Amino acid sequence: MQFPKKLQQKISQRVAQNSLRKLGKENSLIDFSSNDYLGFAKSEVIFNKTHQFLVDNNSKINGATGSRLLSGNHKPYTEVEKQLAKLHNSETALVFNSGYDANIGFFASVPQRGDIILYDEFIHASIRDGIQLSNAKSFKFKHNDLTHLEELLKRVHHNDLEIYVVTESVFSMDGDSPDLIAISQLINKQTNTHLVIDEAHALGVFSFGLIQKLQLENVVFARIITFGKGLGCHGAAILGSEQLQQYLVNFARSFIYTTGLSPHALATIKIAYEELTFSNSLQKLQENIQHFISESNRLQLSFIESSSAIHCCVISGNERVKNIALQLQKSGFEVKPILSPTVPLNQERLRFCLHAYNSKEEITDVLEKLATFVTS
């Protein structure tokens, strides 16, 4: 069967640009690439407690059996959503199958025709895709640039329009954070303006997220949290008001038209949150973050400023950054290159993800290796 020529041309273009993506294989390298920041994905304690919870509650089915509006709204959903709302100081929580589903569902359904979406230029692809499905108009502001955001707000503000300002508390490709307090203060000055925050890479790294750490829960219209990173499991949730939950249940297509999560997936979320409340993994992760920053300064390595678990060293050119990543991998470290077009041209980088289970010796070693490769 002949493959479409236009599709083959796009693949060939990626090959020519040295940016063709391929699926990786499991390896035994020291992990500096996964999103399992606290090590919960590998936790036997969480695995065993999840199994026992299901047994104790006589929940011995493998799937949801249907969408939540049909047959799939099983008991663990109710328990987990109540738990999430309480722990995150929110009126409600609505669980989605993934962070991608949550962002697609929210942005494709909530902003209406004639509304305005203002988004950070480095926002995640799932939010961009949701915005494209929306009937609202959208404009991007410069990354973490409060002045530019304020200019746009003045330009688009109208009493009859609803404006949605969206950013991330921790950016996945840079590891940096916006001034969330200043943004919230700016939003509070505006009428009909709503703040939406994606907390995917903050949950677990900063306990229950940066919004709660900064006590901004009451000024955020919606928080999107995901469980596949710091919590080490699967799924996502949108935190917000009872009216928002009711609206999403009725109009978010990625919620309505999909089979629900299995009881096992929901039980894992429940147990992971319980583990988060008393585990010392968070303290270990914070210590490793500080050690990484200290060692990179000692070695005079240039990283994008970050206090999160993500630290990026910009190395221009797909071929060069791939070669340095390969050398680090040959030295025993799983460090991934981030290539254009995932990031802008000439902004290619090595992305280091830190974990509670990395040792300080491993951190020092990988940075010393990097210093050798960068200067050679």
Domain region containing 288: 28-38+280-375
CATH number of the domain bearing residue 304: 3.90.1150.10
* Same domain flag for 286 and 273: no
Domain boundary among 259, 277, 295: 277
Which of 277, 309, 328 is the last residue before a domain boundary? 277
pLDDT digits (tens, 9 = 90+) for 127-184: 999 999 999 999 999 999 999 999 999 999 876 789 999 999 999 989 999 999 999 9
Whether residues 284 and 270 share a domain: the answer is: no
Please indicate, yes or no, whether residues 273 and 295 belong to a single structural domain of this protein.
no
Total-model pTM: 0.94
| Predicted confidence (pLDDT) at residue 336 exceeds the cutoff of 70 | yes
Average pLDDT, the chain: 95
Residue 376 scores a pLDDT above 70: no
- Assess whether 212 and 323 both reside in one domain: no
Is residue 289 situated within a structural domain? yes
CA angle at 264 for the pair 260 and 270, rounded to the nearest 5°: 95
Q: How far apart are the first and last CA of the chain?
A: 48
Same domain flag for 314 and 272: no
Q: Say whether pLDDT at 207 is over 70.
A: yes
Residue 26's pLDDT band, with cuts at 50, 70 and 90, is: confident
Query: Does residue 41 carry a pLDDT above 80?
Result: yes
95 shares its domain with 237: yes
Q: Are residues 236 and 163 in the same domain?
A: yes
CATH number at 222 reads: 3.40.640.10
Do 341 and 249 lie in one domain? The reply is no
Q: Is 36 helix (H, G, I), strand (E, B) or coil?
A: coil
Asked whether residue 293 falls in the same domain as residue 248, the answer is no
48 falls within a domain: no
Mean pLDDT across 351-372:
97
Whether 52 is covered by a domain: the verdict is: no
Q: Which amino acid is at 57?
A: N
In terms of C-beta density within 10 A (0-12 exposed, 13-18 middle, 19 or more buried), how is residue 29 classed?
middle
Question: How many domains would you assign to the chain?
Answer: 2
CB 127 within 8 A of CB 119: yes
263 and 293 assigned to the same domain: no
Among 277, 309, 325, where does a domain finish? 277
Residue 43 covered by a domain: no
* 81 and 213 together in one domain: yes
Q: Is residue 314 part of a domain?
A: yes
Alpha helices in the chain (DSSP H): 5-16, 44-56, 75-87, 99-109, 125-133, 146-156, 180-188, 210-213, 242-251, 253-256, 263-278, 281-298, 318-330, 360-375
pLDDT for the residue 161: 86
198 plus 269 within the same structural domain? yes
pLDDT tens digits for range 56-103: 998 889 999 999 999 999 999 999 999 999 999 999 999 999 999 999
